[in-house]
Structure 1
Amino acid sequence: MSDTPPRRGPVLIELDAPPADPRPGPASEPRDDTLNPADAPPIDATDPVLPRPRTMEMVTRLVGRPPSRLTRFFINSGVALFTFLLSISALNFISGLLTRYPVLGWIGVALFALFTLAALGMAWREYRAWARFARIDAIQRQAGAALADDSMDKARAVADDMLALYRERPELEWHRKRLADNRGDAFDARTLLTMAETELLASLDQDARREIEAAARTVATATALIPLALADVAAALAANLRMIRRMAEIYGGRAGAVGGWRLARTVMTHLVATGAVAAGDDLIHTVAGGGVLAKVSRRFGEGVVNGALTARVGIAAMEVCRPLPFIAQPRPKVRNLVTRGLRGLFGSDERG
């Protein structure tokens, strides 16, 4: 044993103890407190901002918002006052003209009478158009009741009404004969309505799809190429109103100036009532595609989304103007309509 005394060195005393590991696990598991760069979030991990369809939002607000009672009272009273004053002024002018120049006065009377007859004719046309829409709406309700009750009597009445509705359409003459000859083979309401839909509405659905594709293409192009703020809104509004009027004409209705505007409001109300304004599965892909294109051109991305919303308005117009619901025929999808509509910008859109 050596007599050499032990050496004394510095002593390290830790004042703060390390915090305990809150993660569960065995105490002998080693802990790695080093930061891993791979765990850091990417810089551009934020969600991309999708283009907003400002043009179609403005069109929907202009068409779908109903005026208040005060606004309707103001418009009606203003139109009545203007018509009354215009009539009094015309009568005073014609009476004075008859006194001074009888020949010119009688010419004025004849022109005023012709204008009155033309105004009455336009009013009669608007009344007949809405009577035809009421007829189509009655067929829709009766068809829904026939499907719900599985009633052959109601289904036969619906088939008779549809044959009478398209009696004056020469392009459907062969289909009407087929339906009239084969309707006796149906033994339930759904089969008979499916037969009526296939024979009478299949070709009309193709024409309606083409109109929707053309309107979506027009709105998308106008949004992408027109730099003015309100010019694209006017172009989209005109394209949507024309598309809705064409839907009515295809399925058997006719809408004039006032009737077309009221029909557009009915279509917008149908969109809100059915929840079709929300982004469904058929619209999500189109909006996502518009977000991708917005990285290249913001206006072109907005054009794609506006075209998709125009296609959705067209589908709602089909559901409003169509005498029967979609039973056997496939319901159009926004994605397919927009794809075919935009394909027409770069080539032929003929169906294979």
Structure 2
Amino acid sequence: MTQSPHRPFVEEIHADDIPEADPGAAPPISDLPGADLMLEQLARAAGARRSRLTRAAIWVFSTLFTFVLGVAAWDFTASLFTRNAVLGWIAFVLIALAVLIALIMAAREAMGFARIARLDHLRARAVSAHVNADLKAARSVTGSITDLYGARAEAAWGLKRFEEHQAEVLDADAVLALAETEILAPLDAAARAEIEAAARRVALVTALVPLALADVAAVLYSNLAMIRRIAMIYGGRSGTLGSWSLLRRVFSSLLAAGAVSLADDLMGSVAGGGVLSKLSRRFGEGVVNGALTARIGVAAMEQCRPLPFRGLPRPGVSGLVSRALAGLIPRGG
């Protein structure tokens, strides 16, 4: 008998025919392939390098500007020599000093970028060792970290403990976690102190300075100085251009993290700012700006750290703001 195409087909399924699912057999979310690298990949994609055409255009225009400036300086000096030899020599010496200072500044900027690139390379190697469970690669990464911080007094005790216990660890993740907890813990504490100081400063400036443009400039300067000091703590001391590059990368990582993550981080601080806004609108805005500064500081830690946060928890924004603004945010009794 042919079934009509308009009649529904119903198939009875008994409960005994359905295989029983075992929830314990499901892999944890953190163990899914690529789950640990999702944020790292998003941040890398957001801070991707410029296209070849953009880099070529920047190089051509900067070279052209330098060439025109050099020709103008040469013509200026030559004309002074024709008019007065003394004035010509003065101009020549001043231009030579300017060129020497420019070369020194360029060398410092290049060294700063090299330090930041070294931290990026270490973090990429650590991520690769974690993903591949490569013990040899993990030991190579930790060896580079001990070389990096070997002369740092604040890391001396942690380095000693790491050297004592690393031979006992035979797992790649455990080796990286040991280096993180022993070597990076004091550096993380120093970075958190810088973030708390910057958040406190931004909150007070916002609350006390009535001029909008003035507090915006103060907030931008405080955030840039905070990022530069965090980079110095982790061994990535950079110049002016390097600090601006770090600031761009930090904001790229914040965009990669997404609005949901940012809202979760700031929820408690915004609530505290709402309480304070009942007393003063400027104090409420100060708490929110301090919380945003703390979030930027945490993102700067993630960008400057030679190891990603795994063995140690990532600092929470609410906790940082609470410690930074202790006594300003009312606590429930």
Task: Identify the match of residue 201 of structure 2 among 203, 206, 218.
Answer: 218
Residue 242 of structure 1 is matched in structure 2 by 225
Residue 82 of structure 2 is matched in structure 1 by 99
Residue 173 of structure 1 is matched in structure 2 by 156
Runs of 4+ in 1 over 6 A off after TM superposition: 66-78
Q: Matches of 1:324 and 1:222 in 2, distance apart? A: 33
* 1:69 CA drift (Å): 11
Q: Matches of 2:151 and 2:70 in 1, distance apart? A: 39
Residue 45 of structure 1 is matched in structure 2 by none
Matches within 5 A, 1:33-52: none
Distance 1:340 1:198, change over 3 A: same
Q: Which ranges in structure 1 are unaligned for 5 or more consecutive residues?
A: 1-63, 347-352
* 1:145 CA drift (Å): 1.7
> Mean alpha-carbon deviation: is it higher for 70-79 or for 140-149?
70-79
Q: Matches of 1:69 and 1:292 in 2, distance apart? A: 50
Distance 1:189 1:237, change over 3 A: same
Task: Identify the match of residue 105 of structure 2 among 116, 119, 122.
Answer: 122
Pair 1:183 & 2:166 matched: yes
Residue 115 of structure 2 is matched in structure 1 by 132
8 Å CA contact 1:155–1:189 kept in 2: the answer is: yes
Residue 293 of structure 2 is matched in structure 1 by 310
Superposed CA RMSD: 2.9
Pair 1:159 & 2:147 matched: no
Matches within 5 A, 1:1-352: 82-275=65-258, 278-343=261-326
* 1:170 CA drift (Å): 3.8
* 1:175 CA drift (Å): 3.2
TM-score, scaled to structure 1: 0.72
Distance 1:76 1:138, change over 3 A: closer
8 Å CA contact 2:154–2:187 kept in 1: the answer is: no
What SS does the aligned partner of 2:212 have?
coil
What SS does the aligned partner of 1:230 have?
helix
* 1:260 CA drift (Å): 0.7
Larger radius of gyration, structure 1 or 2? 1
8 Å CA contact 1:271–1:277 kept in 2: the answer is: no
8 Å CA contact 1:293–1:301 kept in 2: the answer is: yes
> Mean alpha-carbon deviation: is it higher for 312-321 or for 293-302?
293-302
Letter in 2 for 1:250: I
8 Å CA contact 2:195–2:226 kept in 1: the answer is: yes
Q: Which has the higher contact order (CA 8 A, sep 6+)?
A: 1
Letter in 2 for 1:191: A
> Mean alpha-carbon deviation: is it higher for 169-178 or for 291-300?
169-178
Distance 1:149 1:291, change over 3 A: same
